[in-house]
Amino acid sequence: MIFYGHQNIDHTDIDAVTEVLRSDFLTQGHKVAEFEKGLSDYCDVDYVKTVCNATAALHLAYLSIGLQKGDVVWTVPNTFVATASAALYCGAEVDFVDIDPKTYNMSIKCLEEKLSSSKKEGKLPKLVVPVHFAGQSCEMEDIWKLSQKYGFKVIEDASHALGGKYKGSKIGCCKYSNMTVFSFHPVKMITTGEGGAIATNDAQLDKKVALLRSHGITKSRTELIGNMDGDWYYEQQQLGFNYRLTDIQSALGISQLKRLDDFVKKRQMIAERYLNELKSVELPYQHPDSESSWHLFVIKTNHRDKTYRTLKSQGIMTQVHYIPVNRQPLFNREGLPNSDNYYQKCLSLPIYFDLDDDMQSRVISGIL
């Protein structure tokens, strides 16, 4: 079986997890902080907090910037439903900005037009969430400039993009955003089984995330409201969640992070071969400001359904990323032509570290 995406687990990963399993702490030990420090150093960002999955990361990031009932969040339809549904968790409303027909990321033209008309109507968003689809960064400098003009916050959904770069800087450095969210699902750049992270350069936002991910509880003596009864004393200062990552997962993440650049390099090699050898389909465009981590390799073809079935019959699994979120019954919105056109033709081909030359040759020969 050739998968569209798959994790790579080696003996160093297994040894790292086994070491924790034999230790005194399976959760809430020092491995979580060690993993967060590794991510912070890698992304060149001041603060990182890990959580149990990327949906939880989105939820806490939204709450931390103050998203609440009556607020509006804009994102793209070309994403997994969590990007939008996490806003609903906060009581906010969701609206959509169409994608660029070349990059499949948020269209700057559509965003600017929508902001201009929404300002006249007095309905500007509190938050805009650009999604770095397939590992390629959105045009973040332009989005950030618009945020300064129109007064909204920016949270990058970089669930696809750990290891990628934008204008020479690592995605996740938050140069052009308030926060960045990552995913460590098995098909992503690195995995912790399930897991996510929130990066920021804002100490107050980081502090809010830390409180919210663990029931809203603090034991920090400098932050206590009441008087300590003893060393065991803690305070629940607001309603939070049990969104913590474990030491077991963090140990795997630490080990995987050491190989992240190798993972990305291999994906880039696979992508380069697809770009050179596939002739009968529309290939993904790469913006010159972006260096993709190539989480996905998405082609567009008029024979999408037939190609999908043909490859599947040969033991080659492809996928469609994504059914536009605005089409889901929960939202049921129309009027995004670029996203609709993309969805009718898109197909994600296999791309992962263990995909060898012979396997890729099978994929290429099966493309109609």
pLDDT over 90 (residue 334): no
DSSP string for 123-160: ---SEEE-B-GGGPPP-HHHHHHHHHHHT-EEEEE-TT
Superfamily of domain 260-366: Aspartate Aminotransferase, domain 1 (3.90.1150.10)
pLDDT, residue 24, reads 95
Phi, psi of 313 (to 5 degrees): -65, -20
Residue with tokens 């409180």: 211
CB 92 within 8 A of CB 65: no
Rg (CA), the chain: 21
Phi, psi of 137 (to 5 degrees): -65, 145
pLDDT over 90 (residue 222): no
Give the ranges where 73-219 is alpha helix by DSSP (H): 82-89, 108-121, 140-150, 203-212
- Distance, in Å, from the CA atom of 166 to the CA atom of 169, rounded to the nearest integer, reads 5
Q: Where in the chain is the domain with CATH 3.90.1150.10?
A: 260-366
Q: Where in the chain is the domain with CATH 3.40.640.10?
A: 11-257
pLDDT over 80 (residue 183): yes
C-alpha pair distances (Å), 129 with each of 17, 154, 178, 294: 34, 6, 10, 20
Q: Which two tokens stand for residue 159?
A: 């669930």
pLDDT, residue 227, reads 87
- Distance, in Å, from the CA atom of 334 to the CA atom of 340, rounded to the nearest integer, reads 9
Q: Which two tokens stand for residue 333?
A: 């919105």
pLDDT over 80 (residue 287): yes
Q: What is the pLDDT of residues 322-333, one digit of tens each?
A: 999 999 999 999
DSSP 2: B
Going by pLDDT thresholds of 50, 70 and 90, the confidence category of residue 221 is: confident
**pTM for the full model?**
0.97
CATH number of 11-257: 3.40.640.10
pLDDT, residue 368, reads 77
CB 108 within 8 A of CB 97: no
Identify any residues that bridge with 268 across adjacent strands, giving them in sequence order.
none
Q: Which of 67-81, 162-176, 194-208, 212-226 has the lowest mean pLDDT?
A: 212-226
DSSP 57: H
